[in-house]
Structure 1
Amino acid sequence: MGSDVAESTDDRRARLQALRAAQELLAAPTPDSTIASLDTNGQQRQPLEQEQEPDGASDTGIKFRNYFPRDSDLQKAKHAPPVIPKFEDPVATDPLQVAGGEDPIVSIAPKKPNWDLRRDVAKKLEKLERRTHRAIVELMIEEEKRRQAEAVDNMEQD
């Protein structure tokens, strides 16, 4: 049983050494990173934390897009509004092609302004017209009967 414990401690010791070696490799600068950290003159650059401006606005990472701060230090963090391209309406830019020198609004408008009223009232007018003709015929028949009655009365009196 003592050998099992010794093997497990040896295994654990080997794993810990491998982890330390991996951490050292990650922390060690690579040749690519040293080249990237050199500035244009070939000198060592400062880390990013030291390169940033010491003002409070860039430290906090605040970006004002829709708000204009009153503090002058915060105004430095104000973003410029986005430049919106001007919209050109292609329909509005083309001149209207007028056929025959006629105003396009007049050509859209109906020739008779009350055509819709006539259409809606047409059924009612037909019904009224039939009743009117029937009433005229009845009046003519009554008038004829009255004349015949007068003619019979005149013949009897003669």
Structure 2
Amino acid sequence: MEDAAARKERLRALRQAAEQAEGATGDAQAEPEKPVLRFRNYAVKDHKHIQHEQVQPAQPPKLEEPQVTKKPEEAAQEDLLVNVAPKKANWDLKRDVQAQLDKLERRTQRAIIEIMREQESQQSGANQA
């Protein structure tokens, strides 16, 4: 019980010290200032009771149109196509499919060799007969 009583006494002393320090700094700060309300999308109807500040709507920056020095007719047709089309449009497709293409290439080569051997055997069979 003595610990609780001592704690209450310390808290009371701290409160009194805080009140004295607050009073010493000035009585004008004792009353907190009310926040100023800023309305952008709300029109206040009761101006007497609500203190507010009207905020102007945001103004987007004005963009200038780019100045064209040459007409498209003056530039070569090939230059226009080069500027519009990407240089390597299918590089990512080739990268992703390259392993499958290699596999197909090997199978194609084997099939071509088999066909050539069959044709050779047919020709040699025709020559022998």
Indicate the TM-score class for this superposition, using the shorter chain for normalisation: 0.3 to 0.5
Q: Which has the higher strand share?
A: 2
Could you say which structure has the greater relative contact order, defined with CA pairs below 8 angstroms and 6 or more residues apart? 2
Larger Rg: 1
TM-score (norm 2): 0.43
TM-score (norm 1): 0.37
Q: Which has the higher helix share?
A: 1
